[in-house]
Amino acid sequence: MEHVFPTYAQYPMEIVSGHDWHLVDSHHKSYLDFTSGIGVCSFGYSNDWIEQSVINQLGKVWHTSNLYPSSLQDEVAASLCPAGMLAFFCNSGTEANEAAFKLARKATGKGKVLAFNNGFHGRTYGSMSLTGNPDIQTGFKPLVPEVSFADYNDPQALDAINEGLAAVILEVIQGEGGVVNGNGEWLQKVAAKCHDQGVLLIIDEVQTGIGRTGMKFAFQHYDLDPDIITCAKALGNGLPIGAMLGKKELAKAFGPGSHGTTFGGNKIALASAKAVLEQLTPKFLAEVQEKSQAVFAAIHKQISPLTVVDSVSGLGLMIGIHLSAAVKVEDVIGQLQENGLLTLSAKHNTLRLLPPLVMSEADLLAGIDQIAAVLAKVAAVSESQSV
Ligand SMILES: *Cc1c(COP(=O)(O)O)cnc(C)c1O
């Protein structure tokens, strides 16, 4: 790509079409997809319900300014929000976190925010400043002030939560950070301390939300009570949309003129989100959980025992396979690509799997077989080299 900034390290093939959970490149090679475009296309690449919803809206009107009310926004907000919350629509995860950061400061009148090392919240100034990863911040200072960091899952982090903070922001499972599961008890203690100290709890569900972990939102696994929730990625199944959800009591701080965006709540993206949420039923989520059990059982049997695998993490169909220093995750991803399987990496040499939630159990297990075979081969090579 000669005419585009080289901000992305890219794989050698271009994907030109897709159906269900399969993708095809420009050389007609097809792939089983364990990425969903980084957790976006959870309903796959040819979902009729979503397509029809978007096509219907395309025939009416694409965009109207937020100067006019939108019953589509209200409808999507009603099905997306937990009870007692309101939505603000934007276009991405980073924008959802910006909105959360701004709302937290304005609603509390306080400036300080606590975030966690190894977290990820986005690339714009506010969300990047909340991202506890030096690789992402390097070269961009000065950052937004008054953000501090604690270690994730560390009991000592509780000491850093006090009434001086506007908010604490965290992921229930750190995605980009290497699929690091939050400890349920620790998360509950953090939430309780926030409540106790009058600190808003912002839960970033951009990657974990919209059914990825087998629940609509990952915080529901641990009965947490966030004040603000952010989501994006899978919400539009590929059309750009983000949303910040917040408790109704916060509405005073986000009155007319306080925050806004031209495209946020765009009707085409909202038509897609509406059809996504209509399919995110309790029955669908139960199926995700069943498939997850089968997949984790296969992983524990076929992959965990391999010498190049240190540990396995995740929840639902968000899966991390932590590789030992003997192998490089990018080499494993390359070999899997050659075999026709697309996978992702995350920090700390993690092979990250985010298959479309609609994938059949048979294809999920076929993908795990392929990964097990490649890792076994890689393990054999690394053992022969170390002899
Ligand atoms: C991807 C991601 C973001 C950023 O979302 P964008 O749409 O890329 O701006 C924020 N938080 C988490 C947890 C993410 O995984």
Residue-wise DSSP of 170-207:
E-SEETTTTSEEPPHHHHHHHHHHHHHHT-EEEEE-TT
Q: In 3D, which of 234, 230, 208, 202 has the Cα closest to residue 220?
A: 208
Probe ligand 1: pick from 152, 207, 212, 217, max atoms within 8 Å of CB? 207
- What confidence score (pLDDT) does residue 387 get? 62
The β-bridge partners of 150 are: 116
Preceding amide of 142 cis, omega within 30? yes
CA–CA gap between residue 316 and residue 354 (Å, rounded): 10
Q: Can you give the pLDDT at residue 134?
A: 95
Q: Where in the chain is the domain with CATH 3.40.640.10?
A: 48-279
Cα 117 to its chain centre, rounded Å, is: 17
- Report the amino acid identity of residue 100: A
pLDDT computed for residue 286 by the predictor: 98
CATH of domain 15-33+281-386: 3.90.1150.10
Per-residue confidence (pLDDT) for residue 72, from 0 to 100? 98
73 vs 93: CA distance, rounded Å? 17
What the block records as the tokens of 54 is 């978007």
C-beta of residue 268 within 8 angstroms of C-beta of residue 58: yes
If the chain, 387 residues long, is cut into consecutive pieces of 10 residues, what is the mean pLDDT of each piece? 95 97 98 98 98 98 96 98 98 98 98 98 98 96 98 98 98 98 98 98 98 98 98 98 98 97 97 98 98 98 97 98 97 98 98 98 98 96 80
Atom of ligand 1 nearest to the CA of 95: 9
Three-class DSSP category at 150: strand
Q: Which atom of ligand 1 is nearest to the CA of 38?
A: 1
**Strand duo 344-346 + 350-353: pairing:** antiparallel
How far, in Å, from the CA of 79 to the mean position of ligand 1? 22
CATH 3.90.1150.10 maps onto the chain at 15-33+281-386
The CATH label, of 3.40.50.620, 3.40.50.300, 3.40.640.10, 3.50.30.30, for the domain at 48-279 is 3.40.640.10
- Report pLDDT for 141: 97
340 three-class SS: coil
| Model confidence, pTM | 0.98
